[in-house]
Amino acid sequence: MTTRSLLQLTVILLLCGSRPGNAQEIYAGRYKAVFTAAPQKVPTAKIPDGPLAGNGDIGLTLGGNPDNLCFYLGKNDFWRAYPVYPGGGIALPGWLELNISALKGADYYAEQVQDKAFIKGEFTKNDLKVIMDAWVSATANTVVASFTATKACTLKALLKATKGNTSVNTSGTTQGIHWVTRSFQNTPLLEWPCHVAMALKVLGAEQQNDGSITLKPNQKVTLVVTIYTNQDNPDWKQKAITTALATTQNTLVQLREQHEAWWKDFWGRSNVRIGDPFIEKYYYASQYLFGATSRGNKFAPGIWGPFVTRDSSAWGGDYHLNYNYQAPYWAAYSSNYIDQTDNFDQPLLDYMEKGKAHAKALLGMKGIYYPVGIGPKGLVTTRWPLTPDEMEKRYATRENTIDGGYKFLGQKINAVFSVGNMLMRFYSTYDRAYALKIYPYVLECANFWEDYLKFENGRYVIYNDHYGEVMPNLRNKGVWRNMLGDFNSTLSLGLVKMLFKGVVDLSTFLNADAGRLEKWQHIVKHLSDFTVAEVNGKLSLKSVEKSPSPWHSGINGLARVSIHGLILPGGVCGPETDSAFNQVLLNDVSRWKERMKAPGEWANTLGNGIETCFPAAVRVGYDADEILKQLKDRITVQSLPNLWITAEGGGTETLAAVPLTINEMLLQSYEQVIRIFPNWNKNKDASFDQLRAYGAFLVSSKQEKGEILFVKMRSEAGRTCTIRNPWPGKAVQLFRNGRKAEILTGKTFAFGTKAGEKLELQKAG
């Protein structure tokens, strides 16, 4: 983002933030993204920089100049179900092209209005101004774009389906509705067919055969595009056409009301107020973009969500299982967006039979063994190139049968990564139906690792599960196998410990497999310790205990990959778990600053890991003000005008970075102990409403002038609440449903609750 853009945004935010609050205010409405120039990265293989709107299934990306605007229309369930990328992966249905020749050379202005989820545009040339309003219905498969001009001009609207990449395309007109289709079907190795239809209706004017529409002065013209796939409806083409035919101005009014009500409910789930407009701006923008990207009852988003602007996007836009797929959801649990995560588990469950086959055929093991990348409906996306020639071209070796032709990249842990998300949701809700849903998956992971672990000299050890991806490429040519052989990777040890602690908790909760608890508990107790070594008189974390790879075997300290095992999603380390070991991790975080060469490089997150390293620094107790300073520098160096914080290696995972960092500063609950403002400057006022804590508690609190004023909670599951005393050394008055109850004392105390009970803690007296 340019300095000019940042200054423009800051002025707007200050003006918006000066309005007095009221009970009906959506706090997120204070912040929006502003664009004063046409997007430069649309289309792209990664994250576009244009204004974005979406409903968690359909994504709208605005590209182009005022005289040639283009609405790229992505959809989370439109895939070319082919096992190799490029070529396979999520695909682009098409776009709506809007030509207004009278606006050639016009000034560009647009807003991404996040509280109500629409895009506003104003394009001005001399005395002609065209005003645009575009949104993706939160409750229907419908995209709406309205245009109003101050003087007469011509708009040419052309709905187009993407061609190529083996797709079959058709188009036509039915009762004035122009429609296009795109299909992937009947080609070798395609695992399942996928079809999409898009239909265009014009309201408020007549459209000519060539797509031309006359915009009369101050008369609104509305374009409606309905989009359906065969995943939505078996009669997908007819559904798109009939839905477009049935759309009227009256139905659009109702749709807009439902749309705004959905987003009002979304913003009412939780909020934070920290007195820092810059961080709040990116906090709420990230929440908006996640809400626009993921919808619980739809297909899960891939690396780029529904904001796909071309076929063959990077990494096929797939579900990359060694953190990219999991990370976008990490802030959703504490932010109380549980229903937005409903889509997470299905692709993992759908791949289980293939995962069992991989484990048996390739390793001779029980349980499940997953490659690095999958897609929906049991799709594998990460086969090696199918011919030796293509393999040599891309990876400098003709051997395309490594690991049976699948990319495991030396890592056995891919399936377990996702258990972290499952456990986050389970601990956050204690929902029995959800526990029953995920238990078979978690159990198969336990089956694999119970079989794979070796018990040697009184401890369980892990051979040949690698800290990082190990694979042939153009740089290491024939020597990549010399890097294989990691022993006791920190990543593996942390995630396996998380797995067995979790399966014990699930088994106990469901009263299932009681006969296996003793073995699982033995693994948790006797799993190898994390390896440390001395650096300048202080202990530091090693990535692995032993490795033939110089990169893996060094003393690298706490870093993105080891954080995945220990803290996120591992959750097996921190001050509450082991204060002495936490000091080692805290020492390592303090060294991140020493390695910086320029602002924004803290924790080496320009490549990957902003969503991992910043919350981890909070968890281990690093200085909150320094974390926020470094976070601001990192965002300033690498983010887009639409407020999407970017990374070199991925897209949607960065949406968790700011919300999770702030949520962890204000509320922590790992290891089932609730801590209020655990890592926040006591001299800075802040408040939060309805953040979700482990134990299924919704928590609200406020800190003012260095004092926590109250702690309010609602118990969803009726579990015992264990909480660190918010007023150290003081007695605490507990209120139950508004009435005085117990007096609580001590550093940490626990009390029983009932499902639905409202609780409040105040300093006694």
Q: Please report, as a single letter, which amino acid is at residue 43.
A: P
Nearest to 347 by CA among 305, 366, 319, 368: 319
**What pLDDT sits at residue 761?**
98
Nearest to 161 by CA among 92, 228, 224, 229: 92
Instruction: Tell me the two tokens of residue 229.
Output: 């796939």
Class of domain 32-270: mainly beta
* 135-189 confidence digits (pLDDT tens): 999 999 999 999 999 999 999 999 999 999 999 999 999 999 999 999 999 999 9
* Residue 31 phi, psi (nearest 5): -125, 135
Mean of pLDDT values over 471-481: 84
C-alpha to C-alpha distances, 211 to 99, 197, 298, nearest whole angstrom: 10, 18, 32
State the number of CA atoms in the 13 A half-sphere of 655 facing the CB: 30
Count Cβ atoms below 10 Å from residue 512 Cβ, excluding itself: 16
| Residues in CB range of 263: below 8 A, 6 or more apart | 115, 116, 117, 138, 291
Count Cβ atoms below 10 Å from residue 722 Cβ, excluding itself: 16
**What pLDDT sits at residue 556?**
86
**What pLDDT sits at residue 24?**
61
Cβ atoms of 73 and 94 closer than 8 Å: yes
CATH 1.50.10.10 fits 272-667, yes or no: yes
Q: Domain extents for the chain?
A: 32-270, 272-667, 682-763
Q: What is the DSSP letter of 359?
A: I
Cβ atoms of 755 and 715 closer than 8 Å: yes
Distance CA 73, CA 182 (A): 13
Instruction: Tell me the two tokens of residue 663.
Output: 């949520």
* pLDDT tops 90 at residue 133: yes
* pLDDT tops 60 at residue 128: yes
Cβ atoms of 47 and 303 closer than 8 Å: no
Mean of pLDDT values over 360-366: 98
C-alpha to C-alpha distances, 616 to 448, 562, 571, nearest whole angstrom: 28, 11, 10
* pLDDT tops 50 at residue 569: yes
* 27-68 confidence digits (pLDDT tens): 999 999 999 999 999 999 999 999 999 999 999 999 999 999
* pLDDT tops 70 at residue 2: no
Give the sign of the dihedral formed by CA 368, CA 370, CA 375, CA 378.
negative
The residue ranges of DSSP E strands in 287-423, in sequence order, are 319-320, 373-374
| Residues in CB range of 598: below 8 A, 6 or more apart | none
* pLDDT tops 70 at residue 10: no
State the chain's mean pLDDT as an integer: 95
Q: Which residues pair with 463 in a beta bridge?
A: 487
The residue ranges of DSSP E strands in 472-525, in sequence order, are 487-489
Specify the residue for token string 């009906």.
Answer: 24
What b-and-e string marks burial along 326-342, b requiring 16 or more CB atoms within 10 Å of the CB? bbbbbbbbbbbbbebbb
Domain topology for 682-763: Immunoglobulin-like (2.60.40)
pLDDT band at 590 (very low <50, low <70, confident <90, very high): very high
pLDDT band at 551 (very low <50, low <70, confident <90, very high): confident
